[in-house]
Amino acid sequence: MTHQPFVNPDEIRARFSNAMSEMYQTEVPLYGALLRLVADTNNQMLSQQPELARHLRQTGEIERLSMERHGAIRVGTAAELATLRRLFAVMGMVPVGYYDLASAGVPVHSTAFRAVHEASLQASPFRIFTSLLRLELIEPPELRQQASDILAKRVIFTPRAIELMVQHETSGGLTRHQADDFIIQSLETFRWHNQATVSAEVYQQLHDQHRLIADVVAFKGPHINHLTPRTLNIDAIQTAMPQHNITPKVVIEGPPPRNCPILLRQTSFKALEEKVAFLSADGQVIQGHHTARFGEIEQRGAALTAKGRDLYDRLLQAAQDQLQVPTNEKNSAQYMAILSDKFNQFPDDYPTMRAERLAFFRYFPTEKSRSAPTESLQGLTLDELIGAGFIQYEPLVYEDFLPVSAAGIFQSNLGDKEQAHFAGHASKQDFQRDLGMAVIDELQLYEETQQRSIATCAATLKLTLLSR
Ligand code: OOG
Ligand code: NI
């Protein structure tokens, strides 16, 4: 008997991401409109700015530009989170980072499932921001118990999806036929259901406690709540959205516009009010509505080192402290001005960002290095080789999320009155116990990618040692 080869997890992820996007565009047509606006703006930018196009080609970013996407889901129990970990593993996605959102007024903590190696990220950067509802933060106790009872009864995975996860775990992969099946089956978990699993009364109680609780508890599964393409000009899209009948949130989250973008800037359109049906105890169908699903865009920049991140966090905090109140329609321009002013303290050219070790970089051997007399280069440092034109560098793209920004995205889609505060401490340990493994440290991943690129340069130049 011949053995069927396994499909590469990167390919399963790329296909799953496409299938998810198609499903979501059907479910939320406004997301399709946003995608078209983003594609048009990206094309315009590329034709107007040849230098930008060159930079994106150099790093391979141009190929993944149109497939760039992240999505988000919210689950209710440890078992759901742990099974999602197994589901995402089939597609080569592992939990990276821990995000505590309770301190920012959202009763969840989260991780991002994503690929980790630069080659895999290149094949498909698709990530899922996954939040676990923290039931322990819910008052009163009776409602907490009720929510937990409702969640205990639901099964969010199809039996066949579970079978295929086990198949992947025991044999190390899926064959072509199994992978096709897996994509169809796993998509079911993230589908929207316009029928709630609870009565209108129970929905209202959950909703009164926090809109997010109703969103997680009252439905059959963790519907995908947004998808996010990557834009080359987030400010242009923020301005253009209203002209396309799309209502954006009031401010762009993250750093201000810069010559050398850092981390992540993101904005979204406001969640839509959608019709749902509730079933009463006597079997009557009652029409109501629920607001949860939206579209988002992101613009990514350089991944920062711990030192760079610390500076970012301090400047962001300083801007928010100066504004004193949460951002709204009236103060959004003022906030952006304050933010730009504070960030004048963050160097805005790559050589300085590199010299001060604020960001991670990827190093490439130049054309010149291929015909170099390598003996004479032995012993030169990385800086010297860059100076002599044998090596060039590009910033490493940030592949993760930002807790303050994520809270801002949550908040703007939960309504303004949900500015609650939760006293609970961040609980990475509890999260990892529920997940069934430790989350991966993102800084370590950037460090490794940077190091691998230096090793490739050394190999090309036939250097035995290449120190920074
Ligand atoms: C997740 C919000 C966070 C992001 O891009 O920071 C997020 C959610 O609303 O479930 O997606
Ligand atoms: Ni998002």
Q: What was the pLDDT predicted at 72?
A: 97
Q: Judge whether 108 and 133 are in contact, CB under 8 Å.
A: yes
Residues 255 and 377 in one domain: no
For residue 136, pLDDT beyond 80: yes
Cβ of residue 74 lying under 6 Å from some atom of ligand 1: yes
- Name the residue at shortest CA distance from atom 3 of ligand 1: 406
pLDDT at 108: 94
Alpha-carbon 129 to chain mean position:
5
Average pLDDT over residues 151-174: 97
Q: Lowest-pLDDT range, 300-304, 308-312, 321-325? A: 321-325
Confirm whether 58 is domain-assigned: yes
- Same domain, yes or no, for 208 and 281? yes
369 CB within 6 A, ligand 1:
no
How many angstroms separate the CA atoms of 446 and 397, rounded? 9
**Would you say residue 418 lies in a domain?**
yes
Residue 286 sits in the same domain as residue 405: yes
**Cα angle for residues 310, 100, 189 (degrees, 5° grid):** 130
Residue 264, pLDDT > 60, answer: yes
Atom 1, ligand 1: residue with shortest CA distance: 72
Please work out whether the CB of residue 225 comes within 6 Å of at least one atom of ligand 1.
yes
Please indicate, yes or no, if residue 354 is contained in any of the structural domains. no
Pocket test for ligand 1, best of 96, 108, 129 (most atoms within 8 A of CB): 129
The residue whose CA has the least distance to atom 9 of ligand 1 is 410
Is the confidence at residue 337, as pLDDT, over 80?
Answer: yes
Could you give the number of structural domains in the chain? 3
Q: Is 377 part of any domain? A: yes
- The verdict on 188 and 313 lying in the same domain is no
Both 148 and 257 in a single domain?
A: yes
Instruction: Verify that 264 and 333 share a domain, yes or no.
Output: no
Q: What is the pLDDT of residues 166-214, one digit of tens each?
A: 999 999 999 999 999 999 999 999 999 999 999 999 999 999 988 899 9
Q: Give me the pLDDT at residue 419, please.
A: 57
* Co-location of 92 and 107 in the same domain: yes
Is the predicted pLDDT of residue 2 greater than 70, yes or no?
Answer: no
Q: Does 390 map to a domain?
A: yes
Q: What is the domain extent for residue 463?
A: 361-395+445-467
For residue 170, report the distance from its CA to the centre of ligand 1, in Å: 33
Number of helices followed by number of strands (H, E) in the chain:
20, 11
Residues 294 and 327 in one domain: no
One domain for residues 459 and 324: no
What pLDDT shows up at residue 55?
83
Whole-structure pTM value = 0.95
> Any idea which of 187-191, 307-311, 336-340, 405-409 has the lowest mean pLDDT?
405-409
Asked if 166 and 219 sit in the same domain, the reply is yes
Ligand sitting nearest the alpha carbon of 400: 1
- Is 3 part of any domain? no
160 within some domain: yes
Q: Is 412 contained in some domain?
A: yes
Closest C-alpha to ligand 1, atom 11: 72
Q: Would you say residue 417 has pLDDT above 80?
A: no
pLDDT at position 280 is 85
Using the mean position of ligand 1's atoms as its centre, give its distance from the Cα of residue 406 in Å: 5
Verify whether ligand 1 is closer than 6 Å to residue 72 (CB atom): yes
Kindly tell me the sign of the dihedral angle through the C-alpha atoms of 209, 211, 216, 217.
positive
State residue 416's pLDDT score.
57
> For ligand 1, is residue 266 a contact (CB within 6 Å)?
yes
Regarding whether 221 and 319 lie in a shared domain, the answer is no
Give the residue carrying structure tokens 């401490």. 425
Confidence band of 1 (pLDDT split at 50, 70, 90): low
Provide the CB-side half-sphere exposure for 113 (13 A, CA): 25
CATH label of the domain that carries residue 422: 3.10.180.80
Buried b vs exposed e over 4-15: b needs ≥16 C-beta within 10 Å? eebbebbebbbb
**73 CA to centre of ligand 2 in angstroms:** 9
pLDDT digits (tens, 9 = 90+) for 80-124: 999 999 999 999 999 999 999 988 888 999 999 999 999 999 999
pLDDT of 420 reads: 63
Q: Using an 8 Å Cβ cutoff, are 241 and 248 in contact?
A: yes
pLDDT in tens, 338-389: 999 999 999 999 999 999 999 999 999 998 888 777 678 888 899 999 999 9
Ligand nearest to the CA of 99: 1
Q: Among 296, 298, 299, 398, which residue has the most ligand 1 atoms within 8 Å of its CB, making it the best to mutate?
A: 296
The alpha carbon of 128 and the centre of ligand 2 are apart by a number of angstroms equal to 8
One-letter amino acid for residue 317 of the chain? Q
- pLDDT score, position 421: 67
Ligand 1 centroid vs 54 CA: distance in angstroms?
A: 31
Q: What is the pLDDT of residues 431-451, one digit of tens each?
A: 999 999 999 999 999 999 999
Residue 97, H or E segment: strand 94-100
Distance, C-alpha 259 to centroid of its chain? 23
**One domain for residues 420 and 277:** yes
Report the SS3 class of residue 135.
helix
